[in-house]
Amino acid sequence: MKKEAIKTLGALKASGYQSKSIKDELRDNLIENIKQKKNTFQGIHGYENTVIPELERAILSRHNINLLGLRGQAKTRLARMMVQLLDAYIPVVEGSEINDDPLAPISRYAVELIAEKGDDTPITWLPREDRFAEKLATPDVTVADLIGDVDPIKAANLKLSYADDRVIHYGMIPRANRCIFVINELPDLQARIQVALFNILQEGDIQIRGFKLRLALDMQFVFTANPEDYTNRGSIVTPLKDRIGSQILTHYPERVETARTITAQEAQLDTRQSESVYVPELAKDLLEQISFEARESEYVDVKSGVSARMSITAFENLLSTAERRALLSGDRETTVRLADFLGVIPAITGKVELVYEGEQEGADFVANALMEAAVKTLFPNYFPKVEKLEKHGDETPYDDLISWFFNSNGFELLNEFDDATYKAKLDEVPPLDVLIADYQPEIDPKDVYFEKEFILWGLTQYKKLSKYRYSKGMQFQDPYGNYISGL
């Protein structure tokens, strides 16, 4: 019998439907997915061998779950994706506030309705999309919000005494019966509110204003939290931690390639940006490397973390910088330049928490330092490493380039250059072509000019050239020649 034809309790019984707890639902559907080699958590990258196996084991164990990790590690997204493991629809007693199972009612309303109408009790079908509830834990959350409270208006309308349990207004948790319930940032929840969750997690009891109701709530709890050594705002009380079956540690991407995949998937780009702005492969790696540098930086509070959202918003800023430049210069299409990375500074400064030393230097300085550190880290992956100590007279692959700058009066790349002028300017430096031909012979022709600029930036990090940034653009010079000319 089709779901649409089952509208009463009698029809439900005749269909052979059997009740199942939400934890069994999740478990059974996960087992089917695993057997069919189906990826339950599609779009989650970097967790294939770490977080996802632990999460699947917790679901198979029917555990309530705590996802513990720094910001921007997809904790809430993982919780939301668990909805896909629920059955498409479940039957509910029509009019029930707490999604009563028609075959196992727990509320007074449902029990009395079934006692009155029997097999004629009307039922509705609840889709899986409506079986997810979420609450951000903030200091102002009350027991009434989560559990419930006495409703004087209901008591007056129904002409009932406060001693009657029908005057209770249920909170978010009872209303999420037979659903996945997520509490984000659990340590921010006041300790006395956390205590109110004890019995719900373990025994199924809820207490409201002196009422002790034995409501066998059927729920899958998922909590998210930052590590307790980071948050000074509160912690998870020990008895509550004891009642959470599995605590799973999340983490940031371990490889630049994984981070690139996440950024490409999550960035919100206008179609016109995607079509008019080309992003070299090196530029994508460089953008992600900035986040990796930030997570190791002496200026950044590592306990706070550096969210994956930093790379996503920085990528959006990078394309917008190139797009704006092209609009001003009249180019219909353009390629990202290394100088365009200066446009991502606002995305960095708003996403990193600085330690005392970083605050002293300033957010703008730290953002520039992270970009330059990223260039220095990636440089040896593309071109010969610049040794710190070189013997006098030893030849290096960069001698011709450095000599060119020594004999020139400086070299400027202005922000206002259109693409043709930008390329022509870089073509004025022949040693750059030699380096590209020798060490990147298979490079995509569209990436050549970005890598030329990358060589200049890289050599400034190794003190082989000097770089000066001013309002109109960037100037590169031989550091010693510049000093001599100054004399």
Q: What is the pLDDT along the chain (487 residues), one digit of tens a residue?
A: 567 678 999 999 999 999 999 999 999 999 999 999 999 999 999 999 999 999 999 999 999 999 999 988 999 999 999 999 999 999 999 999 899 999 999 888 899 899 999 999 999 999 999 999 999 988 888 888 888 776 767 766 666 665 566 777 788 998 999 999 999 988 888 888 888 888 777 766 666 666 666 778 899 999 999 885 444 556 888 888 888 999 999 999 999 999 999 999 999 888 888 899 999 999 999 999 999 999 999 999 988 889 999 999 999 999 999 999 999 999 999 999 999 999 999 999 988 999 989 899 999 999 999 999 999 999 999 999 887 656 655 688 999 999 999 888 778 999 889 999 999 999 999 999 999 999 999 999 999 999 999 999 999 999 999 988 888 889 998 877 555 555 4
Residue in 280, 284, 290, 286 with CA at minimum distance from that of residue 310: 290
Question: Long-range contact list for 157-164, CB < 8 A, 24+ apart?
Answer: 162/209
CA angle 226, 232, 234 (to 5 degrees): 75
Q: Which candidate, 474, 485, 465, places its Cα nearest to that of 425?
A: 474
CA 223, 224, 227, 230 dihedral sign is: negative
pTM of the model: 0.86
Q: Is 279 helix (H, G, I), strand (E, B) or coil?
A: coil
Q: Which amino acid is at 395?
A: E
Number of neighbouring beta carbons within 10 Å of residue 271: 7
User: What's phi and psi for 335, nearest 5 deg?
Assistant: -120, 140
Residue-range domain boundaries for the chain: 3-249, 256-486
Rounded-to-integer distance, Cα 117 and Cα 115, Å? 6
Topology classification of domain 3-249: Rossmann fold (3.40.50)
Residue among 15, 23, 7, 4 at smallest CA distance from 64: 23
SS3 of 404-447 = HHHCCCCEEEECCCCHHHHHHHHHCCHHHHHHHHHHCCCCCHHH
Q: How far apart are CA 443 and CA 286, in angstroms?
A: 16
Closest CA to 120 of 94, 84, 90: 94
